Structure 1
Amino acid sequence: MDQQGSLTKSVEQQALDLKIQQVFGDLAIDKRRLPASQLQKRGVPAYVGEWVLDSVAPGAGELNAEDAAKVQNWASKYIPGPGDTNLIKHRLISGDVIKVLTPVQIEVELTRRRQEQVGKMTLLGISDAVVGETLAQRYPELLKQGMWGVVQLVSTQEGVAVEGFKPMQASLNLEMYKEARKEFTLSEWRSLMLISMGYNPAAFGEEEQTLMLCRLLPLVQKNMHLMELAPKGTGKSYIYENVSPQVRLVSGGNVSPAVLFVNNMTGQPGLLARFAVVVLDEVQTLKFERPEEIVGGLKGYLANGKLTRGGLYEMGSDCSLVMLANILLDSEQQPLAEPLVRELPAFLQETAFLDRIRGLIPGWKLRKLSGECFARGIGLKSDFFGDALVAMRNDLEHDQRCARRIQLKGSKVYKRNEDSVRSIASGLLKIMFPDGNVSDADFNHYCVRPAKQLRQLIWEQLQTLDAEYRQYESDIAYEILPE
């Protein structure tokens, strides 16, 4: 790019930054501030780090040295490090009052001997803190996926007790968010979404941008089950780690039926009942306890949204399941394996399971992340951005619109293909056109066509693996009906 082109882009970015600040005010933040603060090196996700920045060193523009030092001083005082667990416990039994920033979760224990609520703070190694009866009433999310916040702890005769709790709370006005869309062109809004995700839109082409926006689909759509296959270094898990406390990333270790579905001993709901999105990262390396039970339970859940184990504690859930996996590429940067799922665990190659996945994101089409790929401008604060996306799940108008307007063509239409294309298109509509104001051309180009492409990749795997699916046409064709 020549100097004039670079200057023009700089002016465009400045204009967009100004517009975002004017429209969203305090809900916007310069995305360069968080990396400069070094907060994420302390193990906090972006939605927590930006909340700390806004609380300790509010301001616009890049983070200066004075504010960075102020943030680091606050972090060293309130954010516990990996080796601080015993020190904190020692201070508690010595009579100190401790304030720390940590995720807190309340579990209700109902047994013959015990019927009470206990607080869990896994980063502190505390699993049975005494909590007041009103805490869960004030913050019901503590009973589900838990909440990040500054907790005040004291040691009592009954054990460690939660004496105070100040949670992170984004101010969400969904109607304002939808109305704000009207102030931006489509290109500007796509850039805003990508910057809010932590990316620099100028580093990616249009197709790459769309694929990256597809990573938001599980947040805006209920039961949006996706798979992404990509080489290492393309940032598959980056957004899921940093966008919302309602997203749980499972990376490494053992995964059991009790963890995913429900613990039959205690009746405690598993991850799929507590979170809006559960992400299984690097599925090749995960160890599944009782894999047959997990696969059977997942097939049932993906098909009907019901969680159960052996017929006990049946419950419904709209949690989206995302599976991320690394694949090898050839010299042309195309997948080496054929079919694509050949390198994955056996259960992911089972067509009855694979068919229940809505779509496959072709992560091999994305470049490996480098310094220029990360956000440099003004975006939405991560806690507000994540809450707005998840709130869009309940906006059924987009779902109904896609169900009315999108119809698959052919002599024999496969229903799961049609349902998947409609659901993915609806999700993209919520991401790029949350106010519902979209032309037919943009609806096709930015919503329906990418939806067809994501489902087509699943469909090709099914037809390759199982002759039963070859009774249907190989290409998914669709038409868009008039309003």
Structure 2
Amino acid sequence: MITLDSLDEKLLDHFRGFVVKKDLVRRVKVGANVPVFVLEYLIANSCSTNDEEKIKEGMENVKNILSQHYVNPEESDLIHSKIREAGSYKIIDKIEVKLDPKKDKYWAYLHNSNIKDAVIRDSLVLDHDKMLMGGIWAIMDVEYDPNIKVGNTIYPFVIRDIKPIQLSSFDVSKVNNKRKEFSKEEWMNVLLRSSGYEPSSEGMTHRIKMLLLSRLLPLVESNFNLVELGPRSTGKSFVYKELTPYAVLISGGQGTVAKLFVHGNTGRVGAVGQWDAICFDEATDQLFKDKDATPLMKDYMESGSFSRAGAGGEITGNASVILNGNINQPVQTVLQTSHLFSPLSEEVNSDTAFLDRIHFYLPGWEIMKFSNKNFTSNFGFSTDFFSEVLKSKRRENYTDALEEYFSLGSHLKQRDTKPVKKTVSGFIKLLHPDGNYTKEDIREYVTFAIEMRRRVKEQLKRIGGMEFWDTNFSFIDKDNQEETFVGLPEQKGTQLIENTPLKPGICYTCTGDGVNFSVVRLEVVTTEGSGKLNISGTSDRDVKENIKNTYQYIKANEDQILNEQHSLSNFDIHVQITNLLGDKINSGVGSATYIAVLSDLYNQNLKAGLAVLGNISIGGAIERSNNFTDKVTMLSENGAKTVISPMDNLSEMASIPQSVVGSTDVPFYSNSQMLMQKAILID
């Protein structure tokens, strides 16, 4: 008997006949062209057991079927002969159909059999119209009739019958009813094993599990737009290629208007209306063959519909869109030189209107490169059953679930709110198919969802500037009004502070109460206005008070600090605070705010790696920085090259470690004018 773990036993108890031991697929030595769902379709019923003898018998049966009927590409001539000699022969192959408008006929193409222009009747095409959209795997009866001619050409191969390799019927209530038998962690592991992953393997943290499950979101949520960029060999396209017959992979440059949207001659709706998910593999190459496809895709990704002249008005579709591609550099290097969309095809990587329609940026660089130890040998749902579970969930909707417990912060606009709600809805469908979830479940999903959408928005800010300023995403607990801000892991590296000249309006500081310290980024944007001050990124009263005091000091001393052209009464000042590292932002951001405001007003770059400590009172007094040594050390360790500090801290200079002094300059200031002189980059 095979050794089972407790999860295997539960699956066999509650889903016998619908589960399969996942390593069986790897045992079957067949050509690499056979998708997982084809093999598991054949072995699920006979091998859904822990009886080793029955598994052996079932596997022998599967091998016999494959050896007799599955077509290896190198055996295509032999299959042609078998069909001819027998008159009719059953094969397993991928069938694709195209319309020949010149002859007004459909022709079938069998990929591995290399049978081109096989005769197929219209009714079969209409019953299985996905054959027109990239093809389907099926068990087919192929006949040989040398009497079929068109003109003087013989077309002897005839597709007589087709059985798509998927379940003929499905009832999702079994999954919904049995979910209560599993804990949340167990159910998560069931989904991962059903996808082929081993959740107990090394490196499988809870976050990695959530990232892997995220690849399933486009299969349970209609019109869900996801991008994943990361290293090779992390399985980015595996889900859409192998785990479901309801997704299609489109190679780079092959996206045409006819294939994706609507055929100009026939009016037939393309892939967006035929599939649950369309995955552009290698999206770092050209995406679309036709230039007209890009604006149509933008319309579709925004609303799930598009208009095309001659197509009879607006056409809708439910297909989700996935862009997959490789990042060949470390993510921190990419962030230092450009943005996280830069590896995408040139036709979209700087098109903010296109990129803003992406709901979810999955950080593929966090996922390990897969080896044999990461693939499961335990039981999981058979792929045909699993794909039906995922498809059935597309009809459900939990986009309002987060509103039971939370509201979204002010920086999330309509185009941000929709992705967050759809992501939460998708995780509920995956992990709580019975609809039973808790507030803490929703808290986890909304945090995850906000991060993935914020990653999109942060890159848009790098590309498009002020238009995408509002990136300090948060959510608010309706019970206690506590606001939680959600950051990005890639913004918390060891070199948080740029070692190049800082752009106008950007400055760094460090806050702390003696126990907890935070590296803080201040970003100021000034716009034409009437003198309003807007603060975002913090709910701390003392921090806001620092900023307001600094603002009032500048306003009260405009005649010495500013010229008439730059009077604060002519501008609105937007101050955004981001906690890059640490638990909580505390008081001590006033002087950094002063530098950020003035540098943006005068469009002056600041010194490379600049950080500023201390506060400025309303009267202009420079306040000493508490915990000076710890703050300078923390800033230095995170990339600061210069830490301008209050003169009152000069006596503590001797306490700074020599390693810090050797890598970071620590000048001092006693008034705001001296502070500005030491901060501005002099060409």
**2:294 is the alignment partner of 1:303:** no
> How many Å separate the matches in 1 of 2:258 and 2:323?
19
In the alignment, what sits opposite 1:275?
275
Provide the TM-score with structure 1 as the length reference: 0.86
> Structure 2 vs 1, CA of residues 333 and 97 (structure 1 numbering), >3 Å: closer, same or farther?
farther
**2:31 is the alignment partner of 1:33:** no
> Structure 2 vs 1, CA of residues 143 and 55 (structure 1 numbering), >3 Å: closer, same or farther?
farther
1:467 corresponds, among 465, 468, 477, to 465
Instruction: Please state whether the residue corresponding to 2:399 is helix, strand or coil.
Output: helix
In the alignment, what sits opposite 1:51?
41
Q: 1:215-273: CA deviations, max 9, x gaps? A: 00000000000000111121111222111110111235633222222221333332222
Q: Aligned residues: percent identity?
A: 26
1:167 deviation in Å? 3.4
> Structure 2 vs 1, CA of residues 162 and 434 (structure 1 numbering), >3 Å: closer, same or farther?
same
Instruction: Please state whether the residue corresponding to 2:342 is helix, strand or coil.
Output: helix
Q: Which runs of 5 or more residues in structure 2 are unaligned?
A: 149-154, 480-683
In the alignment, what sits opposite 2:633?
none
Instruction: Please state whether the residue corresponding to 2:472 is helix, strand or coil.
Output: coil
**2:174 is the alignment partner of 1:176:** yes
1:137 deviation in Å? 7.3
In the alignment, what sits opposite 1:434?
433
In the alignment, what sits opposite 1:386?
387
Instruction: Please state whether the residue corresponding to 1:255 is helix, strand or coil.
Output: coil
Amino acid at match of 1:288: F
- Which deviates more from structure 2 when the two are superposed, residues 163-172 or residues 124-133? 124-133
Within 5 Å, give how 1:72-91 maps onto structure 2. 72-91=63-82
Q: Is the 8 A contact 1:30 1:61 kept in 2?
A: no
2:14 corresponds, among 23, 34, 37, to 23
> Structure 2 vs 1, CA of residues 339 and 317 (structure 1 numbering), >3 Å: closer, same or farther?
same
Query: How many residue pairs were aligned?
Result: 464
> Structure 2 vs 1, CA of residues 45 and 392 (structure 1 numbering), >3 Å: closer, same or farther?
same
- Which deviates more from structure 2 when the two are superposed, residues 85-94 or residues 221-230? 85-94
> How many Å separate the matches in 2 of 1:452 and 1:75?
46
Query: Which fold has the larger relative contact order, with Cα–Cα distance below 8 Å and residues 6 or more apart in sequence?
Result: 1
In the alignment, what sits opposite 2:617?
none
Q: Which runs of 5 or more residues in structure 1 are unaligned?
A: 1-9
1:79 deviation in Å? 1.1
> How many Å separate the matches in 1 of 2:366 and 2:66?
38
Instruction: Please state whether the residue corresponding to 2:207 is helix, strand or coil.
Output: helix
Q: Higher helix fraction: Structure 1 or Structure 2? A: 1
Amino acid at match of 2:63: Q
Alignment RMSD, CA only?
3.0
1:138 deviation in Å? 6.4
Amino acid at match of 2:340: L
> How many Å separate the matches in 2 of 1:323 and 1:432?
24
Q: 1:353-397: CA deviations, max 9, x gaps? A: 00001010001111111111101211000111011111101012x
> How many Å separate the matches in 1 of 2:476 and 2:161?
57
In the alignment, what sits opposite 1:6?
none
In the alignment, what sits opposite 1:293?
292
In the alignment, what sits opposite 1:150?
139
Q: 1:34-68: CA deviations, max 9, x gaps? A: 111124x3411111111122367665467977765
> How many Å separate the matches in 2 of 1:60 and 1:79?
27
> Structure 2 vs 1, CA of residues 140 and 62 (structure 1 numbering), >3 Å: closer, same or farther?
farther
Amino acid at match of 2:91: V
Instruction: Please state whether the residue corresponding to 1:77 is helix, strand or coil.
Output: helix
In the alignment, what sits opposite 1:185?
183
1:174 deviation in Å? 0.8
1:19 deviation in Å? 0.4
Q: 1:384-433: CA deviations, max 9, x gaps? A: 1011111101012x2343466553222x5411101110011111111111
Instruction: Please state whether the residue corresponding to 1:179 is helix, strand or coil.
Output: helix
> How many Å separate the matches in 2 of 1:180 and 1:18?
14
Instruction: Please state whether the residue corresponding to 1:321 is helix, strand or coil.
Output: strand
Within 5 Å, give how 1:135-146 maps onto structure 2. 135=124
> How many Å separate the matches in 2 of 1:465 and 1:265?
39
Q: 1:435-456: CA deviations, max 9, x gaps? A: 11111012211x2111111101
> How many Å separate the matches in 2 of 1:311 and 1:138?
25
- Which deviates more from structure 2 when the two are superposed, residues 178-187 or residues 82-91? 82-91
In the alignment, what sits opposite 2:473?
476
Amino acid at match of 1:478: F
Within 5 Å, give how 1:255-274 maps onto structure 2. 255-274=255-274
Q: Is the 8 A contact 1:277 1:320 kept in 2?
A: yes
Q: Is the 8 A contact 1:145 1:245 kept in 2?
A: no
Amino acid at match of 2:473: I
Provide the TM-score with structure 2 as the length reference: 0.62
1:479 deviation in Å? 2.8
Q: Is the 8 A contact 1:145 1:246 kept in 2?
A: no
Amino acid at match of 2:421: R
Amino acid at match of 1:421: V
Q: 1:11-46: CA deviations, max 9, x gaps? A: 9x711110011111100111111111124x341111
> How many Å separate the matches in 1 of 2:393 and 2:189?
19
Amino acid at match of 1:380: F
Within 5 Å, give how 1:77-476 maps onto structure 2. 77-93=68-84, 96-104=87-95, 114=104, 119-126=108-115, 128-132=117-121, 135=124, 147-156=136-145, 157-158=147-148, 159=155, 160-170=157-167, 171-203=169-201, 204-252=204-252, 254-286=254-286, 288-290=288-290, 292-312=291-311, 314-330=314-330, 338-346=338-346, 347-396=348-397, 398-402=398-402, 406-410=406-410, 413-445=412-444, 447-472=445-470, 474-476=471-473
Q: Is the 8 A contact 1:284 1:325 kept in 2?
A: yes
Amino acid at match of 1:408: L
1:143 deviation in Å? 7.0
